Chain A
Amino acid sequence: AQSVTQPDIHITVSEGASLELRCNYSYGATPYLFWYVQSPGQGLQLLLKYFSGDTLVQGIKGFEAEFKRSQSSFNLRKPSVHWSDAAEYFCAVASNFGNEKLTFGTGTRLTIIP
């Protein structure tokens, strides 16, 4: 069964600092990988996704993520965070058989300090 681990429950960074959120997945074949962001009281918004090809993917809001098969990781990065980036971030995986089900990690809450 596929699974996702986000080891950091809560991260605090200063505005303007760089950010890296960790995500490790467990799946036998090449997975489809996603990062979603959720602001309080809101639904989920897709930041970026990896299906195949270039292992460094660019997303919205200046985010990027790198797929590393050898480490089963798909870490999210941003070179300089803004106060508006404060939210909860979820990594998700789906099988490459067009599985209709997304398996989510437990999320990382990001706090930005001035």
Chain B
Amino acid sequence: KAGVTQTPRYLIKTRGQQVTLSCSPISGHRSVSWYQQTPGQGLQFLFEYFSETQRNKGNFPGRFSGRQFSNSRSEMNVSTLELGDSALYLCASSLEAAGDTEAFFGQGTRLTVV
């Protein structure tokens, strides 16, 4: 079966702009989590959605937001981009909670803010 699909794979944006990243989970998976990966901070949890509801949120400013649709696809949005938002954004899907069952990761979206 198809894996987790993230689009786009690469993105270049200018400081101050906003960006939307998309994640299509594995068919049947209802939980989608988002992580930010940077060389300095490593992998940090952004938020998790389950059945269109945000269940858990990491310590990121309100500029980072997300949503999940009825088909479990998820989007995350970053407004007023800063240089420090440059990172690899990873999406993971799982049947239930990522801690309960295996989380499958997508290849990520590489965001560069200039």
Contact = CB atoms under 8 A, between A and B. Distances in A.
Contacts, number: 68
Q: Is the interface of B mostly helix, strand, loop or mixed?
A: strand
A95 B104 CA distance: 18
B42 interface: yes
Contact of A95 (B90, B92, B99): B99
B4 A43 contact: yes
A37 to B, nearest CB: 11
Interface of B: 4, 31, 33, 35, 42-45, 48, 50, 55-56, 58, 90, 92, 96-100, 102-108
Contacts of B33: 100-102
Contacts of A63: none
B105 A103 contact: no
Interface string A64-97: 0000000000000000000000000010001111
